[in-house]
Amino acid sequence: MILGIGTDLANIDRIQGTLDRFGDRFRNRVFTEIEQRKAERRRDVAGTYAKRWAAKEACSKALGTGLRMGIAWKDMSVTNLRTGQPVMHVTGWAAERLKEMTPEGYEAVIHVSLTDDHPWAQAYVVIEARPVADPPPSP
């Protein structure tokens, strides 16, 4: 069952301007160390940050709160599997909100998709509730 859907569109040039203006103050307020390391290694630094910005916005919308009710930017973070597939992680209040909205007997799975086509970066987040599998019967 779908618990929440969120999407966001970010302007890469706007994110570049924010990076130019605020630098580490912006990076450290919004992005985890892992996200910063990933972005700073990429050829398109601003595009990488913009996709993660959009993912955080989309995740907050899928959680049904937007960026209010105590959710902090760093409560949501994106890493990548070896295949390149993005993975959304939630901690803090975002994790509490996710637990609160997940029905008993289900586990929440967060799906995230990122894309960019300069000057735009876009993210979609879908939160799914899957039934928790019953343990196999004991022998």
pLDDT on residue 80: 95
How many domains does the chain fold into?
1
44: DSSP letter: S
Decide if pLDDT at 139 tops 80: no
Which domain covers residue 10, as residue numbers?
2-131
pLDDT in tens, 71-119: 789 999 999 999 999 999 999 999 999 999 999 999 999 999 999 999 9
Would you say residue 115 lies in a domain? yes
Would you say residue 117 lies in a domain? yes
CATH of the domain at 127: 3.90.470.20
Q: Return the higher-pLDDT residue of 66 and 76.
A: 76
Q: What is the pTM of this model?
A: 0.91
Please give the share of the chain, as a percent, with pLDDT higher than 70. Answer: 92
Would you say residue 31 lies in a domain? yes
Tokens, residue 5: 């859907």
Would you say residue 137 lies in a domain? no
